[in-house]
Structure 1
Amino acid sequence: MKPIIAITMGDPGGIGPEIILKSLRELSLDEAIYMVIGSEEVFRFASEHLNLTFRPHRIPTLERSFLNEGEINFLDITREAEALYEKSFGKPKPKGEVFSVGQVSKWNAALAFSTLKVAAYQAACELIQGVVTAPIHKGAVQLIDPKFYGHTEYLAKIARVKEFAMMFVSDRLRVTLVTIHLPLKKVPRALKTDEILTKILLTNEFLKRRLKIDSPKIGVAALNPHGSEFGTEDEEIILPAVKLAQRKGVNAQGPLSGDQIFYDAYERRLDAVVAMYHDQGLAPFKMIAFREGVNVTLGLPFLRTSPDHGTAFDIAYQNKAFPTAFINSIRLIEKALTD
Structure 2
Amino acid sequence: MALALTQGDPAGIGPEIALKSWASRVEAGLPPFFLLSDPDFLRQAARRLDLDVPVRAVAPEEAAAIFGEALPVVPLARQVSAEPGRPDPGTAAATLESIEVAVELTRVGRAEAVVTCPIAKHVLYDAGFRHPGHTEFLAALAAEPGAEAPLPVMMLWSEELAVVPVTIHIPLRDVPGALTEDLIVRTARIVARDLRERFGLDRPRLALAGLNPHAGEAGAMGTEDRDVVAPAIARLQAEGIDASGPWPADTMFHARARRGYDAALAMYHDQALIPIKTIAFDEGVNVTLGLPFIRTSPDHGTAFDIAAKGIARPDSLIAALRLAGRLAASSRVST
In the superposition, the TM-score normalised over structure 2's length comes to 0.88
Q: Give the secondary structure class of the aligned counterpart of 1:69.
A: helix
Match of 1:212 in 2: 200
The answer (yes or no) to whether the contact 2:251–2:257 under 8 Å persists in 1 is no
| Pair 81,304 (structure 1): closer, same or farther in 2 beyond 3 Å | same
Q: Deviations over 1:211-246 (max 9, x none)?
A: 222222110111111112211111221112111211
| Pair 68,288 (structure 1): closer, same or farther in 2 beyond 3 Å | closer
In the superposition, the TM-score normalised over structure 1's length comes to 0.87
Match of 1:87 in 2: none
The answer (yes or no) to whether the contact 1:12–1:111 under 8 Å persists in 2 is no
User: Residue 178 of structure 1 aligns to which amino acid in structure 2?
Assistant: V
Alignment of 1:103-252 (within 5 A): 103-160=86-143, 161-229=149-217, 230-252=221-243
Match of 2:146 in 1: none
Alignment of 1:1-339 (within 5 A): 2=1, 4-27=2-25, 33-59=32-58, 62=60, 64=61, 66-71=62-67, 72-77=71-76, 79-80=77-78, 98-160=81-143, 161-229=149-217, 230-263=221-254, 267-339=258-330
Aligned length: 318
Question: C-alpha separation between the residues in 2 aligned to 1:231 and 1:145?
Answer: 40
The answer (yes or no) to whether the contact 2:86–2:304 under 8 Å persists in 1 is yes
Deviation at 1:70, TM superposition (A): 4.1
Q: Deviations over 1:233-277 (max 9, x none)?
A: 112211121112112221110111111122267642221100111
Question: C-alpha separation between the residues in 2 aligned to 1:144 and 1:122?
Answer: 25
Q: Give the secondary structure class of the aligned counterpart of 2:276.
A: helix
Q: Give the secondary structure class of the aligned counterpart of 2:252.
A: helix
Q: Give the secondary structure class of the aligned counterpart of 1:262.
A: coil
| Pair 36,184 (structure 1): closer, same or farther in 2 beyond 3 Å | same
In structure 1, the gaps of 5 or more residues are 83-97
Q: Deviations over 1:82-139 (max 9, x none)?
A: 8xxxxxxxxxxxxxxx412102113322322221222133334444330111111111
Match of 1:86 in 2: none
| Pair 30,166 (structure 1): closer, same or farther in 2 beyond 3 Å | closer
Query: What's the % identity of the aligned pairs?
Result: 38
Question: C-alpha separation between the residues in 2 aligned to 1:308 and 1:68?
Answer: 26
The answer (yes or no) to whether the contact 1:219–1:272 under 8 Å persists in 2 is yes
Question: C-alpha separation between the residues in 2 aligned to 1:298 and 1:251?
Answer: 18
Deviates more, 1:203-212 or 1:287-296: 203-212
Deviation at 1:39, TM superposition (A): 1.9
Q: Give the secondary structure class of the aligned counterpart of 1:317.
A: coil
Could you say what the CA RMSD is over the residues aligned between the two structures, in angstroms? Answer: 2.1
